[in-house]
Amino acid sequence: MRCLDKTIAFVPTMGYLHEGHLSLIRQGRKIGDCLVVSIFVNPIQFAPGEDFEDYPRDLEKDLVLAMKNGVDVVFTPYDKELYSNGFQTDVNLKKLPNHLCGISRPTFFSGVATVVAKLFNIVKPHFAIFGKKDYQQLAIIRQMVSDLNFDIEIIGSETLREHDGLAMSSRNIYLTSEQRNSALCLYKSLQKAQVLLSNGINDSEKIINTALEIIKSHTDIEIDYIAICDPQTLIDMKKIDGPALMALAVKVGKTRLIDNAILNL
Ligand code: PAF
C-alpha cells in the first residue's frame, strides 16, 4: 500500500469487538485509503494470574463485524509468529508507566509498548487510532512513537459509553447485572468530581475522598487507585489549577475496570 502511495490507517485490538472498537474502526475508515485492524490477545501484557486464558475471544464474530465496517485487512497473528522461542527484546519507558495502572501492573505497559512497536513495524501504518479510555496506554504510545521516531500519527478517540455512562470494554461481559450496576459508580464519581471542581473545590484530596465514598458504598468493589494527575506527565496534582486527568481503576468481583475524564476548571 505504501508503495502505491496509499495511506494506511491501523486499529490495534485484542478482539471481542464492541461499539467502542467500531467507533475507532469507523474513524480509521475515514482517514486511511486502506484500513487494517489487528486482533491479537497479547500474552506478554498479562501477568501470571491475570485473565489471559479467560480473555473473551470470538474471532468469527469479529471478522463479520470488521467486514461490515469496511476493514480491508484483519491481521490475526499466532503467539508464536510474534514471539518466537528466541524472543528477547522489550520496549520499556522510564517514567509514564510508573503511575496509575503501572503501579499494580508493573509489566503491563512494557508488554503493550513491545507489541504495539512490533505491530507498527509489521503494518507500517500512517495513522494509528487508540481509545482514550486507556488514557495511560495512549500517553505511553505517543511517547514511544516520539522517542523511537516512528513516522506514525497517533489519534486518540473519545471513550464510548453505554446509555447509562458505563465505559465500553470487552471485560464488561464478565459482569453480572448487580456488578454492572455497581460499576456505574466509576462514571458517577467522575461526574461528581467535575461538579465539585466547577463549584470551586480544587483540592484533589477532597475530590478523591468524595469518589472514595461513592465507590466504597458498593461492597462488591475493590479500589486499585483513584488519582488526579497532570494529563501529560501523570504526576499527582495536589491542587487543580488547569486541566487535570482523573483516573480510576477498580475490581468489580474479579473484573478489572478503568475509566477517566479530563477535569476542567
Ligand atoms: O488496548 C488494547 O486492546 C491493547 O492493549 C493493544 C493496544 C491492542 C495492545 O495489545
pLDDT in tens, 7-42: 999 999 999 999 999 999 999 999 999 999 999 999
- Record the cell numbers describing residue 152, joined without a space: 506514525
| Residue listed under C-alpha cell 461499539 | 19
Which residues in the chain are classed under CATH 3.30.1300.10?
Answer: 170-260
Longest dimension (CA), the chain: 58
**CB within 8 A of 157, min separation 6: which ones?**
23, 24, 27, 129, 130, 131, 132
Query: How many angstroms separate the alpha carbon of residue 14 from the centre of ligand 1?
Result: 6
Mutate to test the pocket of ligand 1, among 134, 152, 154, 160 (most ligand atoms within 8 A of CB): 134
Which residues in the chain are classed under CATH 3.40.50.620?
Answer: 7-157
pTM over 0.85: yes
Residue closest to 66 by CA, chosen among 28, 121, 115, 120: 28
pLDDT of 5 reads 86
The CATH number given to 170-260 is 3.30.1300.10
Residue closest to 240 by CA, chosen among 225, 229, 227, 226: 229
Radius of gyration of the chain (CA): 19
Query: How many angstroms separate the alpha carbon of residue 239 from the centre of ligand 1?
Result: 32
pLDDT digits (tens, 9 = 90+) for 166-217: 999 999 999 999 999 999 999 999 999 999 999 999 999 999 999 999 999 9
pLDDT of 3 reads 75
* Closest C-alpha residue for ligand 1 atom 5: 112
Pocket of ligand 1 (CB under 6 A): 12-14, 42, 45, 112, 115-116, 134, 137
**CB within 8 A of 12, min separation 6: which ones?**
37, 38, 40, 115, 116, 119, 128, 130
**Which residues partner with 11 through β-bridges?**
37
DSSP secondary structure string for all residues of 36-70? EEEE---GGGS-TTSSTTTS---HHHHHHHHHHTT
* Closest C-alpha residue for ligand 1 atom 8: 13
Mutate to test the pocket of ligand 1, among 42, 79, 132, 171 (most ligand atoms within 8 A of CB): 42
Phi–psi pair at 240, nearest 5 degrees: -90, 110
pLDDT of 133 reads 98
| Residue listed under C-alpha cell 479510555 | 133
Decide: residue 132, CB within 10 A, 0-12 exposed, 13-18 middle, 19+ buried.
middle
Q: Which CATH class, in words, describes the domain spanning 7-157? A: alpha beta
pLDDT digits (tens, 9 = 90+) for 102-146: 999 999 999 999 999 999 999 999 999 999 999 999 999 999 999
